[in-house]
Amino acid sequence: MQSGTATLVEEKIVVEKKIVLLTPRGFCAGVVRAIDVVKIALETFGAPIYVRKEIVHNKHVVDELRGLGAIFVDELDEAPAGARVIFSAHGVAPAVRQQAKALSLNVIDATCPLVTKVHLEAVKFARKGYTVILIGHENHDEVIGTLGEAPDSMVLVQTVEDVDGLCVADETKVAYLTQTTLSLDETSDIIARLRERFPLIEGPHSQDICYATENRQVAVKAVVPMTDLLLVVGSRNSSNSQRLVEVCRKEGRPAYLVDDEMDVQEAWFEGVNTISITAGASAPEHLVERLIDFLRANGYGTLETLEVREEDVRFSLPPELSAARLTQISPTI
């Protein structure tokens, strides 16, 4: 190089493209239990086994179980008299149980124990003469079942504005319950407004929103400062998956719900260097793995994990299934 001559050297900056995988994610204890119930029932009793509604809200799970011999029906009268029928994790109203009995169906109840907790609370308050305000989403399977526990005593609210239009028979005897898969922030706003309107209102001893819903939302909030985009693996009719998208967007980051990698759009990658991944409580892990492989093939070569909380919750099988398995494996005396 000649003296006095300036040379400009252009340095190319390579930006790392990475994936941040959130933990906890995916299956909760209630979903694991419900899927196990169907599989064990098929192994124990053989196909066909009928399932009322989707056992959990994920189309991949439902398709897998259908392939193993499960038959999914919307109404109990679609199953032949005397058939074995499983109730989904979302729970059912007493009227459904009565119908099953009238049709001589052999029922295995896969209702999540945390949903059962809400049902028992509804019955308790209704028997004490309370107006029970259920916070939840209209027409969701869980909400339909809970409302059915005390239809003459319960009223559904979905927003803060709904609270303002409430009329109750006795403002000194009001209680609230919630769907288990709601947004923590939105639900707290509704509860705050309920307490303003009804200062003597009572609630559950512990929150009805389940541990898995809370943990996944907390993880999403934790990753927001370090991500450009969140992808949530889950089906469209999965309430808890939808809430994860909403939580992220409320925190100011783009987020999308995908059933699997086939739903991902190339336009989402523009200007995005860090993509975070989580999964709703009914989404299987193999779909997460497929999404990671897809992103790696599209230039996101680094994988990091962010563990926010540990989960070690387990639920036992329904007694009717446990008893049947015990009978099957016990030696004849």
DSSP code string of 1-38: --TT-----PPPPPPP-EEEEEES-S--HHHHHHHHHH
Q: Is 276 domain-assigned?
A: yes
pLDDT digits (tens, 9 = 90+) for 17-72: 999 999 999 999 999 999 999 999 999 999 999 999 999 999 999 999 999 999 99
Q: For the chain, what is the domain count?
A: 3
Same domain, 241 and 268: yes
What range does the domain containing 228 cover? 18-27+211-307
Q: Is 4 domain-assigned?
A: no
Residue 5 has pLDDT above 70, yes or no: no
Residue 242 has pLDDT above 70, yes or no: yes
Q: What is the pLDDT of residue 26?
A: 98
Same domain, 302 and 215: yes
Tell me 90's DSSP state.
T
Q: Is 128 domain-assigned?
A: yes
pTM above 0.75, yes or no: yes
Q: Is 101 domain-assigned?
A: yes
Measured CA to CA, the distance from residue 54 to residue 87 in angstroms comes to 9
Q: Is 13 domain-assigned?
A: no
Between 2 and 186, residue with greater pLDDT: 186
Q: What is the pLDDT of residue 320?
A: 87
Q: What is the pLDDT of residue 192?
A: 98
Measured CA to CA, the distance from residue 19 to residue 46 in angstroms comes to 42
Q: What mean pLDDT do residues 100-117 have?
A: 98
- Identify whether the C-beta of residue 197 lies closer than 8 Å to the C-beta of residue 136: no
CATH number at residue 230: 3.40.1010.20
List residues with catalytic annotation.
142
Same domain, 134 and 187: yes
Measured CA to CA, the distance from residue 58 to residue 62 in angstroms comes to 6
Same domain, 135 and 79: no
Give the amino acid at 43: E
Same domain, 285 and 229: yes
Q: Which of 71, 95, 102 is nearest to 85 (CA)?
A: 71
Q: Is 2 domain-assigned?
A: no
